[in-house]
Amino acid sequence: MKGDKKTVEKLTSLLDEGLAVSVISLAELYEGVYGSDNPERRMKGLNDFLTSVNVLEVNNEISRVFGKKRAALRKEGKLIDNFDLLIAATCLHYDLTLITNNTQHFGRIEELNILRF
């Protein structure tokens, strides 16, 4: 989220609809916290955010979706980062819309529903 107030406001507006975050995305959020100029403040913000969302673990079915999509993307010459693909596989498994600005990578997965932020 990188402290972007507009992003935080948009996400907050979606809380009533229900938000979830992949454990992979959570790892990336922790990296942002620890790499920031003020990790204590950022950690508080992340912990507050986490009280309002479900954290989705990677399971066997998500791993299967990942493998299937990675093989298809490899054949098409359109591979994306493994973390991004695990996030996408999580969304596909649970039939969720992915909120992202990274449409360059995620857009390669045709059946993925994307909400650009």
State residue 54's pLDDT score: 94
CA-CA distance, 40 to 45, in Å (whole number)? 9
State residue 58's pLDDT score: 98
Q: Residue 2: which pLDDT band, with cuts at 50, 70 and 90?
A: low
Q: Which is it for strands 53-56 and 113-116: parallel, antiparallel or unpaired?
A: unpaired
CA-CA distance, 28 to 15, in Å (whole number)? 20
State residue 69's pLDDT score: 98
Phi-psi region at 115: left, alpha or beta (left = phi > 0; alpha = psi -120 to 50): beta
Q: When comparing pLDDT for 14 and 90, which is higher?
A: 90
**Structure tokens that stand for 4 in this block:** 């972007």
CATH of the domain at 69: 3.40.50.1010
Against a cut of 0.85, is the pTM above it?
Answer: yes
- Domain hosting residue 93, numbered range: 5-116
- Count the domains in the chain: 1
DSSP string, the chain: -TT-HHHHHHHHHTGGG-EEEEHHHHHHHHHHHHTSS-HHHHHHHHHHHHTTEEEEPP-HHHHHHHHHHHHHHHHHT----HHHHHHHHHHHHHT-EEEES-HHHHTTSTT-EEEE-
